[in-house]
Amino acid sequence: MSRSEVVVVRYLLVLLSVLLSACAVPYGEVPGYVKRWDGSCYRDLKGDVLVLSSKVSKDCGFLPLSSGEYSRGLVLACVKEAETKGEPYHVGYEGFGEDSGYCSVVVKDADGQRWSLYFDGDVTGQLGLKGNHSAIWIQRCSSVEFSDGWFSLVGCKEDKSKLAKVLSERK
């Protein structure tokens, strides 16, 4: 190999390492584009989640509608780690059903209680065209299960008193 070829190979290796490090995310951190609690779903989402989580939970991220497998994998790893360590956490995602947008949030509070917060942008199925018909539900859940590369809450029952508490603490 000539001297000029060695220089080119070294240059390409340096360029490759710079490009790969630019894409890396430090272990345990959720990339900024995943954390979108402010301005997602409805105005008070972030505050409602903080009330549910007792303001001391690990933020495992909020997945926007456009998130891909990489982001889902980071969020899943965060939830699994928090569950394994018995730590409080909160995580959520947004979606769009047949007729309206929605958000689903999972919270494990400092006491180990798991909560589901679900927001439907328009329960009438009119895409919000005839007024505000949004709704929020909060459920108390017994556990979380992992399957098929994701997680779900089980043993959930609606808790209207917790919803009233969350709504009463809005600023």
Q: How many residues does the chain have?
A: 171
Chain segment 52-92, per-residue pLDDT in tens: 988 788 999 888 877 888 888 888 999 999 999 999 999 99
Q: What is the DSSP string of 69-133?
A: HHHHHHHHHHHHHHHHHT--EEEEEEEE-SSSEEEEEEEE-TTS-EEEEEEES-TTSSTTTTS--
Distance (Å, whole) CA 89 – CA 82 = 7
Cβ atoms of 99 and 125 closer than 8 Å:
yes
Minimum mean pLDDT among 11-15, 28-32, 141-145: which range?
A: 11-15
CA geometry: angle 15, 20, 23, nearest 5 deg: 130
Cβ atoms of 150 and 95 closer than 8 Å:
no
Average pLDDT over residues 47-54: 90
Minimum mean pLDDT among 27-36, 108-117, 149-158: which range?
A: 27-36
Closest by CA position to 94, among listed 162, 37, 29, 147: 37
The reported pTM is 0.74
pLDDT at 137: 94
Chain segment 57-68, per-residue pLDDT in tens: 899 988 887 788
Residue 144: is its pLDDT beyond 80? yes
Distance (Å, whole) CA 39 – CA 41 = 7
Cβ atoms of 35 and 59 closer than 8 Å:
yes
Strands 135-141 and 157-158, by their bridges, are antiparallel
